[in-house]
Structure 1
């Protein structure tokens, strides 16, 4: 157990708080609270969440987070900021259009090649018929070669026949495999996001891959909405959205998305078709979706 974890645990026990009560107060999952007390920071989603969780833990106990970080901050992992140059939206879409055009070109080349082969075959047939005068009789060989099959070829032939019969008698095999693939895809989509913290009306969700999720917003009444990236730039204009509309956010290529919800009772947020429940009961709040570790 680390000195920080031991210190926080002692303060919690002095106040008679259980981990379950602390979980309700901080909105942090119990397993993360246990990891902090044990100094097992590898269990947490990242270095950014380690510092954020310790801050929430300290505030819930009435401690000064700055003093806690000053005394024990060296134990916490330090986040590494990773940056990458993302291509513009037009550059991301351009290869798809080129790829589609290339596929069409390959199909046409394939069809033209088939037509050329057929024409050549017809020309050869006409030439041969003209030379032989249409006489299809030829010189028969003195002795037709016999075809023998060794034991291995016979066994392989029998096995192929058995496999064909098995496939015919079990038409549900392919359907079962397709259903299993669908179940696997549904299970993966259910775990595409995870609520990691809620603080100051801001609920943060950890996302493995932003490009793998679809965020839909349905308005059932009047509300103010905007969606921004980490730099505060508007990602998508929602000023013309009216009650009854459903909007799909375009977040491809983003690693951080902040959704500002002005009147939450009139707004339904869905991720991959599943409605996201509001962690707190307040009209004005924020949903933050991020896949990066940040301080």
Structure 2
């Protein structure tokens, strides 16, 4: 990838090389053509925001067969005025053994700066086995009290006469004390969530991701690709037919 060219120029040249129009790219990526054009012209202030902008660059690049994450690194470096390598995420290096060389002060040397205890080397497999034991023990620690609470508080048997009494019917006129939005992503979607005037989430949802947000009075949710979302408001499914691309929705508490 030509690092001397701008991100917008690289994307535009790749699109033209494939003979694609902005409308065709919009159809293939579910990203509005005006945002694609803004990125190509580097008019970033015309996009929905920083989180959405990075998602647009990454998905647009991947759609054209380019390296989307590398284009995002180039954008971040250009915005910060630094070299691209300085913002690139460091890779994960695998090793066969992990050597722990922890310096601990012995009781007799507290405050003296002397007394070193060197722990032996452990293999990665040994470390993972030890971690698994800790997880199992921790699960047992939390599960046992819950089991005890269940048997202490489990419902007693009810006489047959009482079992035949109909349960009280909840009325639909009850006022909810909050608004709850549940969602599941069926594809990649950028998301910004504002609850009662405060931003509580900004990031990318991947297919099968499930999220739930609530607010006392009002939730404002900005979707980058609303057409791939399944949404429920206070337990009721929302009809998303005909919805696509970027959308901003406001959900209020029922009064």
Q: If the length of structure 2 is used for normalisation, what is the TM-score?
A: 0.32
Structure index of larger Rg: 1
Q: If the length of structure 1 is used for normalisation, what is the TM-score?
A: 0.28
Of structures 1 and 2, the one scoring higher in RCO (CA 8 A, sep 6+) is 1
